[in-house]
Structure 1
């Protein structure tokens, strides 16, 4: 991949579904690409809506980068696209037209499309699977009018082609980066088992919904406990499955091993990532295959800390892991397969360490936002 170009003196706009302080995969994606664009020297403006808006402020990032944030405020009224169009017009009048626009979802492409501004669009996963009727026609129009579009995995690109039809060119595939830029020179974290007499820490972090299949992870813990294996499992995240999981833990008699923690502050999330021996994420596709994992940033984050991963085969996540080299990929609908993978890792510390070390090396090389943005510039140069 070519190095990032020097874009000093250019203006890059990023259209985002959300941004900090709000949390979620789309927010992580928007922040990752915006900060990568800023590292090229470009003047970056992010247009978004968050719970902290409306606001217009300058954000300071690592390595002296800055990002201008135009936040129109939360809300889902039909006037939201109009408010975005007005914000873009004001910024164009103030600072001039952008040289490059990256819309981080297909819906955020609508305002620049309405203004006749060129843009590239990212398609992730489930957000393009549910459009139908007029919305599907609008999504296809967004793709046709774009300078180009990309997908975050080969699996997402394949499913996107099914939705867009054969008349459009295939999507550029560019894997995501991580939630936070790691220091490749930093030593690998010391794992929980090294400091707790061999007791392993198992971690899961996600939105707690059926697609994530954390119930399958909890049942695997019951199988591991029956084998007499020592472990602790912490489940982080919010969502509709939260109380069901807490009930399942009680029913299986796992209160002494499993903590369904709910929302976790960033400091504790980072601590758990560094300490975890195993990251357990046996995700599946649901709703007839419409709802799937496009990439899996949380899984990549775990791999970057040298954690052995057990992940589901469904969706784009399989592209992160070479089975048996960086972790284990299992059929998330096969409870015995999840059980066996977890039990094998709990029983074999040397295997955990080997898989985790390989995962860390692989992730730091392949899953970076600079690499993601570099792929975009190779295909769609700034004009």
Structure 2
């Protein structure tokens, strides 16, 4: 299968940590190095990161790329310079708005990835109009799972939609990935640890974990909640911990490097992110790659029933699905897993096997290559 010369235009790329960043980076890594060029924002540590990549990464002048004339012009120049005939947008919205200019520069095929925020746009009048305009210029638009597909079909015509979900590098996310070092650095010792790896934003449910933690500690004395990541809710969450007198029972790492994430997962006994849908469906979880990364690390997971998150958990087998708005339900799920280590261990083992079987990058990369190599008319030309 011949892979066309491809330009990936994306706001989401390492070394910034995040699920979409990992997804787009993994896709780039699946392609022959000589066939791909990445155009992404500047981020602290990006020069060192880019030096290790086997393909060229061109950085924007700032940490955010908007669908502006300057971004469109730079992307067009990269198409011409590198002879790219295919463009992949790491997220359809909003950068997909620059597609007409890239067509004029020589892009014959345009593939746009979608995530949770595009599914949300589909339900908002003005955003829906922009998403429809974006979709009109794509050959293929990908979706994560059935939930996001249903939302997108309100706006985008069905034939252009194909499923492409993230993969997980099971050589990187694995039991023994460095958790002992993290535990030692934080002074956690052998304490039972529930870890949440995510940005500190309302949808992810760290506040619910904190509200549930006193109940969990009554059943599991000495248990520690480890919140990994930074975000706008950090100050509020710290106040919640202080007001509840939880002190050292809840630890915050703050922002962490992309390369340290596997060790952070491995520091836990249970992974939990009780996400919930907010703002009448506008703020919703698209999938939750962190659940799969946790499973690959051998952890049982507790996930909220928000959007496409249930696609990343086999309820009762690899973890437990909960109502992310229910403190009692979240506390009960965490307590169950912490007090029944045999069940937790079996769920972690099943999760690892499931990710290896169904979510490995070999399978995802093959599907991505098929999407790029198919020059049939599946959308706008």
1:135, distance to aligned residue in structure 2 (A): 4.8
Query: Residue in 1 aligned with 2:30?
Result: 36
How big is each residue's C-alpha offset from its partner over 1:72-109, in whole Å with a ceiling of 9 and x where there is no partner? 2216697x53223322332333332x243211111232
263-272 vs 237-246, which deviates more? 263-272
User: Which of 67, 72, 79 is the matching residue for 2:55?
Assistant: 67
Task: Verify the 8 A CA contact 2:7 2:87 in the aligned structure 1.
Answer: yes
Query: Residue in 2 aligned with 1:88?
Result: 75
1:175, distance to aligned residue in structure 2 (A): 1.5
1:379, distance to aligned residue in structure 2 (A): 4.6
Query: Residue in 2 aligned with 1:307?
Result: 299
Look up the SS of the partner of 1:238 in the other structure: coil
Structure with the larger helix share: 2
User: Which of 109, 120, 124 is the matching residue for 1:129?
Assistant: 120
CA shift in 2, pair 1:366/1:42, >3 Å = farther
CA distance in 1, matches of 2:316, 2:45: 46
Query: Residue in 1 aligned with 2:89?
Result: 103
How big is each residue's C-alpha offset from its partner over 1:317-375, in whole Å with a ceiling of 9 and x where there is no partner? 10111111001111112221111111111111111110101111111222234423322
Query: Residue in 1 aligned with 2:378?
Result: none
User: Which of 201, 213, 223 is the matching residue for 1:231?
Assistant: 223
Query: Residue in 2 aligned with 1:378?
Result: 370
Query: What is the TM-score of this pair, normalised by structure 1?
Result: 0.84
Task: Verify the 8 A CA contact 1:149 1:171 in the aligned structure 2.
Answer: yes
349-358 vs 42-51, which deviates more? 42-51
Task: Verify the 8 A CA contact 1:199 1:230 in the aligned structure 2.
Answer: yes
CA shift in 2, pair 1:127/1:43, >3 Å = same
- 1:256 matched to 2:248? The reply is yes
1:31, distance to aligned residue in structure 2 (A): 1.3
Q: Which has the higher contact order (CA 8 A, sep 6+)?
A: 2
Task: Verify the 8 A CA contact 2:301 2:319 in the aligned structure 1.
Answer: yes
CA shift in 2, pair 1:186/1:72, >3 Å = closer
CA distance in 1, matches of 2:359, 2:50: 27
Look up the SS of the partner of 2:167 in the other structure: coil
Query: Residue in 1 aligned with 2:13?
Result: 19
How big is each residue's C-alpha offset from its partner over 1:201-231, in whole Å with a ceiling of 9 and x where there is no partner? 2111111111011111112221111224442
Structure 1 residue runs of 5 or longer lacking an equivalent are none
Query: Residue in 2 aligned with 1:368?
Result: 360
Look up the SS of the partner of 1:338 in the other structure: helix
Q: Report the count of equivalent residues.
A: 363
Look up the SS of the partner of 1:292 in the other structure: coil
Task: Verify the 8 A CA contact 1:191 1:275 in the aligned structure 2.
Answer: yes
Task: Verify the 8 A CA contact 1:153 1:316 in the aligned structure 2.
Answer: yes
Query: Residue in 2 aligned with 1:352?
Result: 344
- 1:146 matched to 2:138? The reply is yes
Query: What is the TM-score of this pair, normalised by structure 2?
Result: 0.85
Moved over 4 A (4+): 52-55, 75-78, 131-135, 184-192, 194-198
